């Protein structure tokens, strides 16, 4: 069964909508509400759909940070690019080890060190 993580995104023009990203790290499929058109290369602002908090980080303006609980129960951090189509994801486990995923993962790796 395919699982998704739901976000509210905002485009530069101020329009907002829901997007669903695969919960599987390294799967870059995206589903979006038809009311918002998302284009390759576009930079989106990500928000929590519950509290509406902005999910940006200080490490780099193009990264988003979320917390993830692994099947083992351990909590880890997941960073990903907010540029549509850019395949850059980083899993940071409790021991601080960074696991990069995606073709473009070298883009922000140094910003997380």
- Phi/psi of residue 6, each to 5°? -100, 135
Per the CB < 8 A criterion, the answer to whether 30 and 46 are in contact is: no
pLDDT given at position 1: 59
pLDDT digits (tens, 9 = 90+) for 25-81: 999 998 888 888 899 999 999 999 999 999 988 878 999 999 998 888 889 999 999
Q: How far apart (Å, rounded) are the C-alpha atoms in residues 101 and 35?
A: 30
Place of tokens 């549509």: 84
pTM higher than 0.75 for the full model? yes
Domain count, the chain: 1
Q: How far apart (Å, rounded) are the C-alpha atoms in residues 40 and 77?
A: 25
pLDDT given at position 58: 83
Q: Give the Cα-Cα-Cα angle 50, 32, 112 (nearest 5 degrees).
A: 65
Residue 61, domain extent: 4-112
pLDDT given at position 77: 94
């Amino acid at each position: 069964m395919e699982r998704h993580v739901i976000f509210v995104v905002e485009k530069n023009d101020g329009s907002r909508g829901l997007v669903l990203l695969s919960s599987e790290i390294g799967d870059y499929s995206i589903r979006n509400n038809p009311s918002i058109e998302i284009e390759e290369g576009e930079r989106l602002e990500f928000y929590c759909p519950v509290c509406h908090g902005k999910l940006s980080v200080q490490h780099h303006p193009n990264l988003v940070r979320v917390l993830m609980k692994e099947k083992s129960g351990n909590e880890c951090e997941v960073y990903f690019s907010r540029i549509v189509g850019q395949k850059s994801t980083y899993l940071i486990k409790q021991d601080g080890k960074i696991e990069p995923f995606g073709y473009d993962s070298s883009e922000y790796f140094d910003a997380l060190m």
